[in-house]
Structure 1
Amino acid sequence: MSFPPDYVLDLVKEISEILIQRNETLSISEAACGGLLSAYLVSIPGASKFFQGGTLVYSLKSRLKLSGWDNKDISNYTGPSEQVVLRLARNLRIELGSTYVLSETGFAGPSITIFDKDQEPSCNDESGEEIKDEQSPGKVGTVYLGISGPRGEVSCIRHTNNDNRAENMQLFAQAGLRFLLDHMKQNQEEEEEEETKKEESNGNGIKKQKI
C-alpha cells in the first residue's frame, strides 16, 4: 500500500505547488488525526519549502503547554468545537508566523466523552468513503476544521457517519486537506479579482487625465 494514498497525494501536491509558487508557508495543529496530516504533507519531496511544522495537542495538558491555553480555558473546555479549533489555529499562527495554519479536532471513535475540567479530550470515530457536510456536532465521526490565514479565519464541521477510528483519522485528514485547498483557491480568486479591479480603476484614471 502506497503512502499517502493517491487521492491524498493529489491534494498534497496541489497544496504544495500553490504555496511554493506564492512563497507561502503552512503549519498544522492536530488532535484527532494523530499527526497524520503532517505525515501526509512531509511525504513529498521539497516539503521543507512550505511546511514549517506543527503541534499534536491530544491532551488538555499539551494544549496548556503548547497552544497558549491557560487554566481558564481548561476549566471551560467541554469538548471539540469550531471555537476551539479556531483558537488552536490562531495561536499556532502567532507562534510560527506561517501564512496558513490548518487545525483539526474531533471524535474519531469508537466512542465519545463529554469533558469537564478534570477530564482530558478524547477523539473518536470512523468513516465511510464519502464525507458529508452536516451540522450535528458531538458525535463519533465528527471533525472540526479551522484555518487561520492572511485573509482571516474560517471553520467548518464534517461528518463521516462512521465509527471506525483508523478510517476516521484518515478521512478527517483528507477533509482537512480538501478544506485547506479550497480555501487557498478561493483566496487566489479573490486576490485576482481585486487586482483586476485595481488595474481597471487605475486605467480609467489615466484615461481621464489624458482627456
Structure 2
Amino acid sequence: MLVDDPLLVDDARRLIADLTVRKQSVATAESLTAGLLAATLAGVPGASEVLRGGLITYTERTKVLLAGVAPQILDEVGPVAAPTARALAVGARQRCEATWGVGLTGVAGPEPHGGHAVGTVFLGLAGPVDTEVVRLQLNGSRWDIRVSAVRESISRLRALVTAQ
C-alpha cells in the first residue's frame, strides 16, 4: 500500500467489499492525486473484481483526451472547478464502463493556482443515478493534501454505495 495509514487502508478494504457484494465497479480520473486513489484501491486484495481503471489527467489536454472533459469547460472555469470534477467523474465512469466514477482536481501546492488556495479540491462522484461534486478545503503539505483527498474520496464514495 502506498499510503501507510491504517484507517485509510481499512476504509479502502470496506469500499472494495461493499462494491464486491453489490456487484458494482469504480473508475477514477485523477489530476492532483495522479493515480494515488486508484493505487490505494488496487492495494486491497480483491480489488481486481471492482476496479475498472484509472485515468491520470494531470494536464488540461489529458483531461480532454482521456476523460472527455469538454474544452469549453476548461476555457470557462479552468481545471480546478466543480464542473471539471463532474466531467472527470462522468468521463471515468463512461470510458472505463464502471458503475461509479470518481474525479479529483485541485491545488496541492506549494503555491496557489488559478486563483485557488492551496488545499482547494473538487471531488466529483458519478453514479448510476446522479453525479455530485463536493468542494473540499484540505490542510497540510502537498502529500497530506493528496492523501486527504484520497481519504475523502473513499469515504464519500462508500457512503453513496452503501446508501443504495
TM-score by length of 2: 0.91
Residues 22-81 of structure 1, C-alpha deviations (whole Å, 9 max, x = no match): 111110111111211011000011111010001010001211211213543443342411
Q: Secondary structure at the match of 1:183?
A: helix
Change (3 A) 1:2 1:91: closer
Q: Look up the match of 1:202.
A: none
Q: Which runs of 5+ in 2 are unaligned?
A: none
Change (3 A) 1:19 1:80: same
Change (3 A) 1:10 1:62: same
Mapped partners of 1:176, 1:70: distance in 2: 23
Q: Look up the match of 2:145.
A: 168
RMSD: 1.9
Mapped partners of 1:25, 1:79: distance in 2: 26
Mapped partners of 1:3, 1:71: distance in 2: 33
Question: Is the Cα–Cα contact under 8 Å of residues 27 and 54 in structure 1 kept in the other structure?
Answer: yes
Mapped partners of 1:155, 1:73: distance in 2: 15
Kindly provide the amino acid, as one letter, of the partner of residue 186 in structure 1.
Answer: A
Q: Which runs of 5+ in 1 are unaligned?
A: 116-137, 188-211
Pairing 1:30–2:7 present: no
Alpha-carbon distance, 1:8 to partner = 0.8
The structure with the largest alpha-carbon Rg is 1
Kindly provide the amino acid, as one letter, of the partner of residue 84 in structure 1.
Answer: T
Kindly provide the amino acid, as one letter, of the partner of residue 55 in structure 1.
Answer: L
Q: Look up the match of 1:184.
A: 161
Total equivalences in the alignment: 164
TM-score by length of 1: 0.72
Question: Is the Cα–Cα contact under 8 Å of residues 30 and 105 in structure 1 kept in the other structure?
Answer: yes
Mapped partners of 1:48, 1:26: distance in 2: 10
Q: Look up the match of 1:133.
A: none
Alpha-carbon distance, 1:92 to partner = 2.1
Q: Secondary structure at the match of 1:161?
A: coil
- Counting aligned pairs with the same residue, the percent is 24
Residues 90-147 of structure 1, C-alpha deviations (whole Å, 9 max, x = no match): 12222222100111111111112228xxxxxxxxxxxxxxxxxxxxxx2111111111
Alignment map for 1:56-135 (pairs within 5 Å): 56-114=56-114
Kindly provide the amino acid, as one letter, of the partner of residue 180 in structure 1.
Answer: L
Question: Is the Cα–Cα contact under 8 Å of residues 4 and 43 in structure 1 kept in the other structure?
Answer: no
Alpha-carbon distance, 1:181 to partner = 1.0
